[in-house]
Amino acid sequence: MKSTPLKFTPANAALRRTAGVRLRASPPADEALSPPDLRSALGELRIYEAELEIQNEELRDSRAQIEESHKNYFRHFDLAPVGLIRLNRKGQILEANILGAQMLGEKRVLLNSVPRRFLAHVSAESHVVFQQHLESTLASGKMETCELSLRNAAGHETFLRIQSVVSHGEKDEKDFYVTLTDLTERREIEQKLALQRVLAEAAVTSKELFFGMLSHELRTPLTPLVALLEDLAAEPGRSAEDLAALALMRRNLDLETHLIDDLLDLTRVTSGKLQLHRETADAHLCLRRAIGICQADIDAKELQLTIELDAPRHFVDGDASRLQQIFWNLIKNAVKFTPVSGRISIGTRFDDASRLTVEFRDTGIGIDSAALLHLFEPFFQIQHALRQRVGGLGLGLAICKAITEAHGGTLTAASAGLGKGATFCV
């Protein structure tokens, strides 16, 4: 009886070729001893064995890739530093990472096993915001952002920034991938800052009201005194000594008035309410007026005054009365701190940047380098030992700097040191 050769179902052609190559590379030792039919059957079995071995290797590689992919997913999704959730189109939670579940105050295993509506965790006042957010994300197909408040299972409220994108899920359904960023700490800081701003504005308003009333109360008794001194000085037959005494009283009253004005100006500067009445002003005219006010004091100390108003263009866009105030303060300081028979020079020039510069130079007591750093601070006094003699509150330079900067200009000071004079440039 003739034997029938064994037949096997043909394998994948590529796989069979690979198995054949592998088998020919290492032929079995007993191949020459096998009968023809048995040898053929054994050959087929060996090919299938090689194919199975190759398939097992491919399966092991695929399994390793799947495991690595799962690890990457765990690292990137579960351990993300922001909350991540996946919602279906109905807004039900299909999946949440570790931080996302913590933000919702839920057990992650429950969130990932039983779909729950994300809206159930959203505060009532943010329901509309969240629903509109999902609708706009679905309509635009792009990442959309909103901020809302969340109330977790324990009743604790947090403020979140939510960013969502749409992706195709199972059965071509559209899912939302959502990131949750906790803004609670930032919101608390903003609220504290807002409260501090309100309190600061209230304090400034109270200070303005206080200084306004103080100014009125201080000025009221001075007005009749000024009128009385003018009447006394105008009476005929007054001796030179009487007139000198009356003039001294008038200067002290004027000083008192200027101190009150300085306090009010400082309040306006610190509250940002310094007002300028800008117009085309003649800086040279403002200087001459300021010099005229100080002329008596200049003459009394026998100071040598040099005036060089050389700027060809001396009309500026500014508040003429405020410019005169700046110039008067700087001239007054030069007179105060310059000894008898000293020199003061005042000059103007027009620099390359098309800016007018006014320079005040004196041969006074000078300023040391440490004092220069604080010169324009309110209430700072140059040479404290001279305070009683020169008077003032130390507000003039701070106010001058603020007025200059309000005009878009600069005020600088320079000195080679004590006893070497000073130079101020506006």
What digits encode the pLDDT tens for the residues 316-331?
A: 999 998 999 999 999 9
- Split at pLDDT 50, 70, 90, the class of 35 is low
Q: What is the largest CA-CA distance in the chain?
A: 169
Where does 80-182 sit in CATH, by number? 3.30.450.20
- Give the domain ranges of the chain: 13-65, 80-182, 202-273, 276-426
Residue whose tokens read 């007179």: 335
Please provide the CATH number assigned to the domain covering 276-426: 3.30.565.10
CA distances from 250 to 19, 256, 294 (A): 119, 10, 14
Neighbours of 31 (CB within 10 A): 11
Beta-sheet pairing, 343-350 with 356-362: antiparallel
Find all residues with CB under 8 Å of 337, minimum gap 6, and list them.
362, 364, 365, 382, 383, 386, 390, 422
Q: Which of 147, 213, 206, 209 is nearest to 181 (CA)?
A: 147
pLDDT tens by residue, 343-383: 999 999 987 767 899 999 999 999 998 888 889 988 787 65
pLDDT recorded at residue 157: 84
User: So what's the pLDDT on residue 239?
Assistant: 87
pLDDT for 19: 61
DSSP-derived secondary structure letter, 119: G
Element (H, E) at 196: helix 184-234
The CA-based angle 205-209-213, given to 5 degrees, is 170
Phi-psi region of 179 (alpha: psi -120 to 50; beta: other; left: phi over 0): beta
Show the DSSP H helices in 281-319 as ranges.
283-300
| Phi and psi at residue 28, to the nearest 5° | -70, 150
Of the candidates 321, 347, 354, the residue with the CA atom closest to the CA atom of residue 423: 347
pLDDT 10s digits, 72-104? 666 667 777 788 888 988 888 888 888 888 888
Find out whether 331 and 294 touch, Cβ atoms under 8 Å: yes
Helix (H) or strand (E) holding 307: strand 304-309
